[in-house]
Chain A
Amino acid sequence: MRGQKSDERGQIVEVRYVIIVVFVCLLSSIFYSLSAMAAEKWQGVDESVVQKIAMEHGREAHAPLINTDQGDMLLFVFLLAGAVGGFAAGYYWRMLTERRSGDSGQPAADAGKGRH
């Protein structure tokens, strides 16, 4: 009984810890972000942190080998990448979770198990 109670207390303390951490993170992010707010908005951290600090130390970014960052080309490749990635994720998710009709409840991915 005592063990159970202390276990429950431990769980409560644990979850409270998570919530306190979340609050501290949010407050500190607001505090630290005051200077960032003055800079150009919605830059990626590659520009606002990596390239900025690198430039201060004399290092500049080069254009990538295949430069898709031209006009709306980047939007297109990101959209394509998202669509292909999303399709692949959905396809494999179904393969892992879908149960075949007539099967003994085995997900499709396990159906061919053992066939090498």
Chain B
Amino acid sequence: MQVRSTQHEVQSTSYREHRTIQYVRILFLLCTLYFVLGTASDAHAMHITEGILPLAWAGFWFLAAAPFVAFGLYRLKKLSADDLSFKPLVGLMAAVVFIISCMPIPVPTAGTCSHPAGTGISGILLGPAVSVLVASVALLIQALFLSHGGLSTLGANIISMGVMGSCAGYVTFRGLRLLRINMTIAGFTAGLFADWATYLTTSAELAAGIRGDSPFLPLFAKVIIAFIPTQLPLGILEGAMTAGMVVLLHKKRPDLLVKMGVV
């Protein structure tokens, strides 16, 4: 009787996995169709540009970001002293975040370009503290050499992409996994929320910094609405990328994910 029920459990689990894979394939197909069916022509991307925020706000965001970066450094030292295999994972994630966050992607339905953040995946795999550090390094290099973001707005960009993106990705993934949600769906949702959290925070930073005497909320809403046509679909793409990377790493190095407490 017990053997039968175990067999049934195994069958139903593989059936569920098969069905989930089919749904994920449909999801990828929809995303691909969405990007292919649009029209195409020159590209650029995002982060708050140099000089946009007043000095007081720029300083405030630097002060707000500093403890997170310092804690990230401390965690990196501690974790890499405990386990040598942590360093290559940090190197991989640093490269991934850097590439993803300076990769302008045209969004056909909006007619604009933007980029995913990549901090959802690094938040899941490295933990939010080290992910903030990785994002800070990527943002610094981009501000210095790629005319992408700015040095005066670095603190604000660290808070939005590094802190909020990483925390949203980490908390969403862990929360969904605690609820025993499938890893692919948890990864997808984490990537989606990390992207949207980043742009929600950017909207708040921008509205707070430039509003002058105008009320905060209407301007905040205006910025969010202006971001929606681009970031809504881009968040879906980031979700798909995050899910794909978590699943791939789980296939290749399940032990690493167990060690990092991801699964």
Query: Which A residues are closer than 8 A to B by beta carbons?
Result: 4, 8, 11-12, 14-15, 18-19, 22-23, 25-26, 28-30, 32-33, 36-37, 39, 41-54, 57-69, 74, 77-78, 81-82, 85-86, 88-89, 91-93, 95-97, 107, 109-110, 112-116
Which chain A residues lie closer than 8 Å to B9 at the CB level?
Answer: 4
In the bound complex, how far is the Cα of B144 from the Cα of A54, in angstroms?
22
Q: State whether A28 touches B84 (Cβ < 8 A).
A: no
The 8 A CB mask of B83-127 against A (1 = contact, 0 = none) is 111011101101110110011101101111110000000000000
Given contacts A42-B106, A44-B45, A89-B92, contact A8 B16 (CB under 8 A): yes
Which chain A residues lie closer than 8 Å to B146 at the CB level?
Answer: 68, 74, 77-78, 81
Which chain A residues lie closer than 8 Å to B225 at the CB level?
Answer: 32
The 8 A CB mask of B50-70 against A (1 = contact, 0 = none) is 111110000000000000000
Interface stretch of the complex, out of B71-79, B162-170, B228-236: B228-236
With CB as the reference atom, state the residue of chain B lying closest to A51: B49
Can you add 14 more A-B contacts, CB < 8 Å, to A44-B113, A96-B253? A26-B109, A33-B111, A44-B45, A45-B45, A61-B51, A63-B50, A64-B147, A85-B95, A89-B92, A89-B95, A92-B95, A97-B252, A112-B84, A113-B84
Given contacts A81-B145, A89-B96, A112-B84, contact A22 B27 (CB under 8 A): yes
Given contacts A18-B23, A29-B109, contact A46 B44 (CB under 8 A): yes
Of A8, A77, A92, A93, which contacts B145 at CB under 8 A? Answer: A77
Interface size on B, residues (CB 8 A): 89
Which chain B residues lie closer than 8 Å to A107 at the CB level?
Answer: 85, 253
Q: Which of B152-178 contact A (CB under 8 A)?
A: 152
Of the A-B pairs whose beta carbons lie under 8 Å apart in the complex, a sample of 15, sorted by A's number, is A25-B235, A26-B233, A29-B233, A36-B111, A41-B42, A44-B43, A45-B46, A49-B230, A50-B48, A54-B210, A62-B51, A66-B147, A67-B147, A89-B92, A89-B96
